[in-house]
Structure 1
């Protein structure tokens, strides 16, 4: 793994939206712990700021890790079986194998990475097992966890994140900025953002400090309270909080005071809402992740909350900091902080009249999946994909809820199979198979939904290169469709089984089944699967080295896609048109078609398709005499393809690719070829696409910012750092420089801080990189 490519930049850490207040001491200590222990877990009550602190620490510490730091958010993962898959997807590990953990271990072994696992409390057992397995096999991996409870894994160092300080030093003047408690500083910053012009003055300082004390310095409570400064004064805030704090104090006396304060503040925030705003708060809590306005209107409206009132209530909840607003491509979505959502769920469960909201929520996403399936063969696919990506957490939540319901199996089958094009076209094959496997296991009764789920799962297995598994699923789908007299699903299963047979080398049988299924599809009228069947005929002709026949079929497919405004399948048709023209020797046309295919695939994030097109473009480049470009593209393909594993055995692309690589190596020479491959491997997926499309040159080795860090050292610190890099102990350095041991220890501490590292090994690595 020494030459393993770096992790994609997009998989790093989120950007700060607001400043981190009052955590400098904790940050330094946690960074020290990360240097000493391979597993550090930040624990604390919900809303105390564990996530924010972990991301801040990771950002400061990542320079000490050659592969940087990656954040994996687990709050939205409801199914324990998806923990390892989610982590693998985020770090970019291959997910095509059945044993995702073993594959991820192979991927991470040898990498020097800080992995941040956020919000593990609802997945403790699965997270603990995964962490133990990763740490035991990957010696250079360190993990920083946030959870309300420790993982209880051997070697775990637990750091309890406490609320912000609310005590001012004795005799310090109230309101003086330099001496404010951290909680007051946080309130002042967030209140000023909510109500421009607000500031802590000698007149309101004591009230603000008392308010922060009553909130026990809990960041979430303080931020929510500060948001009320749009409408209330600090004294009015304190008066209302005081009343409700007393009410909560007669509740569960065994609960932690900070937890009581959080719920007191939420109770108080709830009471400040109108009746309709409370209804919406409760009902929005059924959503996991982002909420679109249309979804909120459909799920949450009713006789007591008219549809046209929902948007006004959403705006009010945003103003009250109950909802957080995000804008993506000009379209707003809304999200609740997890603690606020938990509070709303508790209120929802207390109201029997709102029990139907949960069913309405499930019905909405089942309908959304059906509409996605029905509308996929047409224009607007890119927008549909963007919407479904934003709804991914809700789709997961509904599928999980249906599968947890003894009577929900058939509905889960229908929903999971309706999302077939999403799973297939948007790089979600592995997760699609997860839900289809679970759905098929939950309901074995004969039904059209089961027949559809069988062929959907079968074709996703084909896309993963698992033709044997696919055959079993597709045969079962055929048998069930015949039993039910279901000609639609029979047509789909027949032509897709032909693809699986063809991939296994049974070319005559495979071609016969594809053509039979295509004829059956055509009898049902224009459809996406009919065009897909024809495309498979064209691909089969390519594999049989019959490019002229392939072009004839694929041109018909292209015309059908153009008529219907379809884009995703068009990108594959253009891919195979490019392949057929490359086989004919029409290199210019092949290159033009392949670049068009790649440009279309870009917004779909169709990783499989992107890898295949870039592979073919590397063949085009060497045919055009540009061996350097071909080698760079080959290197880029290796990076893009990495999460997918390897080409399935017998897949002709693999053989043809090996010929291209050998030709490039011969033309360039071994040294230049290796350098070009390395250039390509440094590109992330978006950079690789830009290079392949001629939009940007290959990214050269960036000038390292290490020089600036090293330049910040004093001459003596530089001398000590170089002795550290040579492996000398503090005592040996003191003897060599004829200074006190304590002086050397002080220098080492300053060096670690300035270079943003936490070990001697990292100092040596940084200096070595600078030397190169």
Structure 2
């Protein structure tokens, strides 16, 4: 409202400079103006907004940007390198919203990115400038009296009130300095008080100046006074909830609020009514997300509540309850990962990442809580591995196992963190770190007679042998681990992945029939339990078997479902393996040009996974076969041209392209079946029937 001139001016500033920072007092509407102005950008690669408000640690600024850009990186390289690689050849606008508490980290990031990405523009939003060379400042002034009065009337109408346009309304807006947040807080009270009553109460508070120190800037005092005045008008229960809600980072749901904030003076069963009251007063906002309805507080309001929480002497207890809730959430989500709710779990964990990070920071900050931090970092293995956050998971796991928990701490927590760290390091191709963690896990597990940790350590050591082409040892270790799982009654996504990995060892040794048998068993178990993540890896093996059996149509069907599932989970490894195999299927179908494009797309994806095809001769065989066939049909020059075309595709474009069946052949003769070559797995027996679809249902 009333920002047309500012919008036009900000658009001109963005057109003239590569770095613009919108500054102004809290609550003046910086974020709304920036988002609206950014929406007008016509840069080819779009606008990407990064909400830095929930980020408390400067170390996570780069991770927040990586996540906002939808990037996934499984390697050990720093997230800054991932950003530089991604942005190097793109023309886009990056909106960094809420930089004031992370100015140094944001300034260093912006300087680095702008220096290496010529097509990048940055719109920063904060109460303080970044103070770097080339920065154009855009100070945002409060609303004029007319605009402020209109905002007050609109917000009041949403509360069912009609304050009119009398002198009291205009005077109230003047006294609130036209700050939109202060006006919205006042509008939230117009259902119970008249503008004149609010003005008289506000006048008293301004005279007392209890909302801010005399050294503060006048408009900072105005906002804090308006918030403090609204706080004074709250009931004791509303004040308690306001203070306790301040422990949440980012958003939260009702169940979390009831558990964390319930207690002395505010029973859990009263939290909903009190939360609804704060919602009506604009202290809390509600939003719909893929994880369901969630609530959040503006940072200014949250900070005020945090000050009050410290003053109550209850901060430590509430933070501990916050950690306990998210430890419980991670534990239940780990169990539910092996269920039909896998996608819901992934969405829930993504929504709760800021709070989970807060719980990890709290637990790993002191020795008395370290074992809980280790357990939490280990329990989130499905988030790190299955949902494309290996790099962040590695950071937490390294920190967790690097801390001494003391002799009295439960060994279980450290053992879990160790095998998960080993698993993450295996997938990152960091063999030294993987072996170190897994050997320590095995030694400690044997000493503690912990059969579960021993099975996991052996399993992941088998995975390491598999990707380093020690196939015989991999088979021995994986069979032993699966026997251990059976003895202790362990059945989950990890166990099913162990069976798929065993199937890969059989395929690499030439026994595709046995590989198919193992993966069909996995497929049936996945169908029984609604599991989709491990199933996608089983589909990958079954697709290769179908292609080897001369049925590229069936192979494409399996790979299409595999890629759709893995991409939905942000599992970059399964995604790129699927694209690689789809390229082979595509060239077999007579589409050599499209196959080369897909190989180029996969080539661009691999650096975010690690060493291409693990540097393994066995994993590399389908790629080499596809390349040889496509080169023969296209010629070297045209093949390389198609690869370059594929390398220009973004990850989303590459996946969409891979899922789209080519319309017509290239006009070149297509092989009738697989083209044998040295090093490729050979079939020794005809594989069993792959799962087929009948009547819309998947059957074995």
Question: TM-score if structure 2 supplies the norm length?
Answer: 0.86
Match of 2:126 in 1: 147
1:650 aligns with 2:616: yes
Q: Check conservation: 1:79, 1:400, Cα contact below 8 A.
A: no
Structure 1 residues 220, 302: CA separation in 2 closer, same or farther (over 3 Å shift)? same
Match of 1:375 in 2: 336
Q: Superposition RMSD on alpha carbons, in Å?
A: 3.0
Q: Check conservation: 2:189, 2:281, Cα contact below 8 A.
A: yes
Aligned mates of 1:106, 1:235 — CA distance in 2: 58
Structure 1 residues 251, 125: CA separation in 2 closer, same or farther (over 3 Å shift)? closer
Match of 1:42 in 2: 22
Aligned mates of 2:135, 2:564 — CA distance in 1: 46
Aligned mates of 2:466, 2:267 — CA distance in 1: 56
1:580 aligns with 2:545: yes
By how many angstroms is 1:224 displaced? 2.5
* Residue pairs, 1:13-24, within 5 angstroms: 21-24=1-4
* Residue pairs, 1:194-343, within 5 angstroms: 194-195=159-160, 198=162, 201=164, 204-248=165-209, 252-329=213-290, 331-343=292-304
By how many angstroms is 1:160 displaced? 2.8
- SS of the residue corresponding to residue 388 of structure 2 reads coil
1:135 aligns with 2:114: yes
Aligned mates of 2:336, 2:81 — CA distance in 1: 38
By how many angstroms is 1:489 displaced? 0.6
Q: Check conservation: 1:615, 1:637, Cα contact below 8 A.
A: yes
By how many angstroms is 1:497 displaced? 0.8
Q: Check conservation: 1:429, 1:460, Cα contact below 8 A.
A: yes
Deviations 1:601-641 (A, max 9, x none): 35423233233223322322322334455455445545666
Match of 2:402 in 1: 441
1:161 aligns with 2:135: no
Match of 1:462 in 2: 426
Structure 1 residues 659, 141: CA separation in 2 closer, same or farther (over 3 Å shift)? same
Match of 1:400 among 352, 355, 361: 361
Aligned mates of 1:606, 1:86 — CA distance in 2: 18
Structure 1 residues 303, 551: CA separation in 2 closer, same or farther (over 3 Å shift)? same
By how many angstroms is 1:119 displaced? 1.2
Q: Check conservation: 1:522, 1:530, Cα contact below 8 A.
A: no
1:471 aligns with 2:449: no
Aligned mates of 2:25, 2:513 — CA distance in 1: 67
Deviations 1:264-315 (A, max 9, x none): 2212222333322222222111111111111111111124222222222222
Aligned mates of 2:514, 2:648 — CA distance in 1: 39
Q: Check conservation: 1:474, 1:496, Cα contact below 8 A.
A: yes
1:660 aligns with 2:660: no
- SS of the residue corresponding to residue 394 of structure 1 reads helix
- SS of the residue corresponding to residue 615 of structure 2 reads coil
By how many angstroms is 1:684 displaced? 5.9
Structure 1 residues 229, 550: CA separation in 2 closer, same or farther (over 3 Å shift)? same
Greater alpha carbon shift after TM alignment, 644-653 vs 250-259: 644-653
Greater alpha carbon shift after TM alignment, 95-104 vs 377-386: 95-104
Aligned mates of 2:372, 2:495 — CA distance in 1: 26
Aligned mates of 1:82, 1:661 — CA distance in 2: 40
Match of 2:678 in 1: none
Q: Check conservation: 1:362, 1:398, Cα contact below 8 A.
A: yes
Deviations 1:737-759 (A, max 9, x none): xxxxxxxxxxxxxxxxxxxxxxx
1:563 aligns with 2:528: yes
Aligned mates of 2:465, 2:245 — CA distance in 1: 48
Aligned residues: 658
1:69 aligns with 2:35: no
1:501 aligns with 2:480: no
By how many angstroms is 1:413 displaced? 0.5
Match of 1:615 in 2: 580
Match of 1:419 among 380, 391, 399: 380
- SS of the residue corresponding to residue 189 of structure 2 reads helix
Ranges in structure 1 where 5+ consecutive residues have no aligned partner: 1-20, 167-179, 699-772
Match of 2:511 among 522, 546, 555: 546
Match of 2:61 among 83, 91, 102: 83
Deviations 1:542-578 (A, max 9, x none): 3334311211222222233233332221222122222
Question: TM-score if structure 1 supplies the norm length?
Answer: 0.78
By how many angstroms is 1:426 displaced? 0.9
Match of 1:113 among 71, 83, 92: 92
1:597 aligns with 2:562: yes
Q: Check conservation: 1:547, 1:581, Cα contact below 8 A.
A: no
Q: Check conservation: 2:188, 2:281, Cα contact below 8 A.
A: yes
Greater alpha carbon shift after TM alignment, 627-636 vs 607-616: 627-636
Structure 1 residues 635, 311: CA separation in 2 closer, same or farther (over 3 Å shift)? farther
Aligned mates of 1:637, 1:245 — CA distance in 2: 63
By how many angstroms is 1:642 displaced? 6.6
Aligned mates of 1:631, 1:228 — CA distance in 2: 64
Q: Check conservation: 2:54, 2:354, Cα contact below 8 A.
A: yes
Aligned mates of 2:398, 2:281 — CA distance in 1: 43
Aligned mates of 1:457, 1:330 — CA distance in 2: 28
Greater alpha carbon shift after TM alignment, 683-692 vs 316-325: 683-692
Q: Check conservation: 2:52, 2:99, Cα contact below 8 A.
A: yes
Aligned mates of 2:400, 2:173 — CA distance in 1: 49
Aligned mates of 2:549, 2:560 — CA distance in 1: 18
Aligned mates of 1:677, 1:669 — CA distance in 2: 12
- SS of the residue corresponding to residue 350 of structure 1 reads helix
- SS of the residue corresponding to residue 228 of structure 1 reads coil
Match of 2:495 among 515, 519, 530: 530
Match of 2:480 in 1: 516
